[in-house]
Structure 1
Amino acid sequence: MPQLNIVLGGNDIHTNWFLHSQVTETGLLGSKPASVPIEENHHLALSLEPIFSEPTRYRRLVGKLIYLTLTRPELNYSVHILAQFMQNPSQAHWDAVMRVLRYLKGNPGQGIYLRANASMTLEAYCDADWASCPISRRSLTAYFVFLGGSPISWKTKKQDTVSRSSAEAEYRAMASATSEIIWLKGLLRSLGIDHPSVVPLHCDSQAALHIANNPVFHERTKHIEIDCHFVRDEIVRGTIAPSYVNTAFQLADILTKALGRSQFHCLLDKLGISRLHAPT
């Protein structure tokens, strides 16, 4: 039986129907496509613009965008931000949703490239944006997990507690990624695929890596001691092998902040997110 390469999401009939219907409904058929889904250095959390006149319409559209994040990881950060204003969206938030649609209009057939000849090995990237929420000052956790070089699991989530340092925020992101790796290894095992090798976990924080590899607990790590024990136990068991990656090559960056056009598209290429056809 011949092996086939697959683009996840690129040919999905429901995705294409959603794009066509929403672009038509919002009157964006003749609009100029956007190069990135959200504006760099945005201040949506601090918007003082009037409340949007049709909040139900905003909620319905953002809910549909959440569905798209299942196959379009580059939308995760944008949708994460927009979903926080479901109760009282302002005009600025509606404009941001329109920008996401204009981005989708310019990239309708984009999807994740799954190689037929890929190896069944896991690799992960984790990142955090320290104190990124200007209201609560909670940090943002994100990770990517790859199977055979293709992303299969990703997440963007605001941390439950306030981190008192960037190292703490990054370490909590590392703990979240480790939990996902353990679950995925168990899932592969249940499918009859054994994954005995250690999983590389790339992080761009030297401080977090030092905490992970230092067996001595001290005053600065007591408040994250549970995460410290958890991650170190998995290092000793051979589940993960944390390593440093330069921020410029941190693939999870696309899940934690609004990037400029060049960096955004550079990371898309590295993630293996492909465009099946040119925009109409």
Structure 2
Amino acid sequence: MKDLGVLKYFLGVEVARSPDGIFLSQHKYTLDITSETGLLGSKPASFPIEKNHSLALAKEAEFADPEQDRRLVGRLISLAFTRLDLAYTVHILAQFMQGPRQEHWDAALRVVRYLKGTTGQGILLASVFYLSLTGWCDSDWASCRLTRRSLTGWIVFLGGSPISWKTKKQKTVSRSSAEAEYRSMAALTTKLKWLKMLLLDLGVLHYAPMTLFCYSQSVLHITQNPVFHLSRLIDIMFVMLFKMVV
């Protein structure tokens, strides 16, 4: 083993230290992606993906070189390690890697044009630190046009530094936006409890209460009123009885 000094570059992640904290970015990796796709001279895009896109219902011909699309999406997945703004877009593009169509390739190139104008972005692990886990969650009800399943998105901060984030399609179909929001909150709660146990295993005692933010008023009323939980339990029991009879 060798002492290589202060960490500056590791697995494509650039590490910059300052009095404000540690800044993690993938500037060189981003430039490599832009250069490989031949978009160094293209006009930057303002957003990584179009609003109200219909990539799930793409009908154009299959992309001529699917391996090229898979390679690009795979590199974007690695880039999302330090780019929170790519979590949703990468989640969408990764669903069509087995049989990409021309629309999917065009959407991936749009992400590269977005990266061209934001090559220096990353995450800052602030030096001003306080041990307090805070989570924010949201959901997009029935966003998948093929399965009508909702989308869960959350991010967790330790102090003022982002340490975990995720965008994922829910496993079951939610019958209302409130139910989708509740599932999102439940997923974030599980993650917060896991992170608290992880800190304990690392010898860090987390005494402060964990804070969870959700803007849905209906979900907040459900969590605070046990009557709603009782009615939900009754619904589940009726469904189980019906299955047993059938």
Same fold (TM over 0.5): yes
Within the candidate set 24, 37, 45, 1:8 is matched to 24
Report matched runs for 1:41-190 at 5 Å: 41-190=52-201
Q: Counterpart of 2:8?
A: none
How many corresponding residue pairs? 219
In structure 1, C-alpha distance between the alignment counterparts of 2:19 and 2:233, rounded to whole Å: 49
SS state of the match for residue 7, structure 1? strand
Q: Counterpart of 1:192?
A: 203
1:45 counterpart letter in structure 2 = A
Q: Counterpart of 2:5?
A: none
In structure 2, C-alpha distance between the alignment counterparts of 1:45 and 1:211, rounded to whole Å: 32
Q: Counterpart of 2:241?
A: none
2:136 counterpart letter in structure 1 = Y
Report matched runs for 1:264-275 at 5 Å: none
SS state of the match for residue 226, structure 2? coil
Within the candidate set 208, 215, 219, 1:204 is matched to 215
Is the contact made by 2:49 and 2:111 (CA closer than 8 Å) also made in structure 1?
Answer: yes
1:5 counterpart letter in structure 2 = G
Q: Counterpart of 2:231?
A: 219
TM-score where L is the length of structure 1: 0.74
1:214 counterpart letter in structure 2 = N
Q: Counterpart of 1:36?
A: 47
1:134 counterpart letter in structure 2 = R
Q: Quote how far apart the aligned CAs of 1:221 are.
A: 5.9
1:65 counterpart letter in structure 2 = L
2:231 counterpart letter in structure 1 = E
In structure 1, C-alpha distance between the alignment counterparts of 2:235 and 2:80, rounded to whole Å: 33
Aligned pair in 2 of structure 1 residues 131, 223: CA closer, same or farther (>3 Å)? Answer: farther
2:197 counterpart letter in structure 1 = G
Is the contact made by 1:168 and 1:224 (CA closer than 8 Å) also made in structure 2?
Answer: no
2:100 counterpart letter in structure 1 = P
Q: Quote how far apart the aligned CAs of 1:47 are.
A: 1.4
The alignment-based identity, stated in percent, is 58
Per-residue CA distance 1:111-162 (angstroms, 9 max, x = gap) = 1122101212111111111100011000001111101112111111000110
Q: Quote how far apart the aligned CAs of 1:17 are.
A: 3.6
Per-residue CA distance 1:78-107 (angstroms, 9 max, x = gap) = 000001111111111101100111111111
Q: Counterpart of 1:251?
A: none
Report matched runs for 1:236-251 at 5 Å: none
Per-residue CA distance 1:161-209 (angstroms, 9 max, x = gap) = 1011111111111111011101111111122221122111000111111
TM-score where L is the length of structure 2: 0.84
1:130 counterpart letter in structure 2 = W
Aligned pair in 2 of structure 1 residues 42, 224: CA closer, same or farther (>3 Å)? Answer: farther
Between the two structures, name the one with larger relative contact order (CA 8 Å, sep ≥ 6).
1
In structure 2, C-alpha distance between the alignment counterparts of 1:125 and 1:21, rounded to whole Å: 32
Matched, 1:21 2:37: no
Per-residue CA distance 1:235-273 (angstroms, 9 max, x = gap) = xxxxxxxxxxxxxxxxxxxxxxxxxxxxxxxxxxxxxxx
Following TM superposition, the consecutive aligned residue runs of length 4 or more in structure 1 with deviations greater than 4 angstroms are 220-225
Higher-Rg structure is 2
Is the contact made by 1:138 and 1:158 (CA closer than 8 Å) also made in structure 2?
Answer: yes
Is the contact made by 2:134 and 2:157 (CA closer than 8 Å) also made in structure 1?
Answer: yes
* Structure 2 gap segments, 5+ residues each: 1-17, 238-246
In structure 2, C-alpha distance between the alignment counterparts of 1:187 and 1:90, rounded to whole Å: 41
Is the contact made by 1:125 and 1:203 (CA closer than 8 Å) also made in structure 2?
Answer: yes
